[in-house]
Amino acid sequence: MRRQWSLKRVSVQLVDCRKTSEMVHSFNCHLGGRGLSSAEAEQHVDEEKKSISETKLLKKHQPRSTGERPYGCDQCGKRFGRSRGLVEHMRIHTGEKPYGCDQCGKTYTKSDHLVSHMRTHTGEKPCCCDQCGKRFAGSGHLASHMRTHTGEKPFGCDQCGKRFTESGNLIRHKRIHTGEKKS
């Protein structure tokens, strides 16, 4: 199966790849969060001179589409497609949280987690559901919400097979099998 997407001067053919629609949706969501029409969005891209080189895009995308994960954690064995993924992962083991909120002091292991957190202070909700119009501060919250429309339940219990829309609900459910009480 071949899919194609284009973004201004970039046009990339991807083979057997589901990431395509997510990238386009994310970009549309990004621009929609600014309240721009399609024509205004195109002008915005021109004005800001935002262009992505085909080579850079393919290089960044390739490890995800091929499944290649050349970077491995020495402590737990988890593997990553990009070195940045490994660097960010290592902070779990070291406890390092280099990104801090200057308003409340909360710290994060990833810069995008801080960006998402800052929206709790500003009230910004740039991610928009194209089905019902509900807005969210982060793309993860939007992805979780989209499951209410699709009925997808990607998180399954390995003990009884019950499925859930969110990982937190699965974790809570597993306590039934272990007898563990919420701490």
**Between 140 and 101, whose confidence is greater?**
101
User: For residues 34, 22, 118 and 90, what is the CA-based torsion angle, rounded to 10 degrees?
Assistant: -150
Q: How big is the chain, counted in residues?
A: 183
Domain ranges (residues) in the chain: 153-183
Ordered alpha helix ranges (H), 67-103: 83-94
Q: What's the CA gap between 179 and 159, in Å, rounded? A: 13
Q: Give the pairing of strands 163-164 and 155-156.
A: antiparallel
pLDDT value at position 64? Answer: 56
Please give the CATH architecture assigned to the domain spanning 153-183. Answer: 2-Layer Sandwich (3.30)
Q: What's the CA gap between 164 and 144, in Å, rounded? A: 11
Each residue's pLDDT tens digit, 45-77: 555 433 444 445 555 555 555 678 899 999 999
| Rg, C-alpha atoms of the chain | 19
Q: What's the CA gap between 8 and 5, in Å, rounded? A: 10
Number of alpha carbons in the 13 Å side-chain half-sphere of residue 178: 11
Q: What's the CA gap between 28 and 41, in Å, rounded? A: 9
Kindly write down the DSSP assignment for every residue of 10-50, as one continuous string. Answer: EEEEEES-SHHHHHHHHHHHHHHTTT--HHHHHHHHHHHT-
**Between 167 and 40, whose confidence is greater?**
167
| 128 pLDDT more than 60 | yes
**Between 182 and 125, whose confidence is greater?**
125
Measured in degrees and rounded to the nearest 5, phi and psi for residue 158 equal: -75, -10
Q: To 5 degrees, how large is the angle CA 131–CA 51–CA 135?
A: 20
Partners of 5 in beta bridges: 12
pLDDT value at position 16? Answer: 41
Shortest CA distance to 79 belongs to which of 69, 93, 68? 69
For residue 29, name the pLDDT band (cuts at 50, 70, 90). low
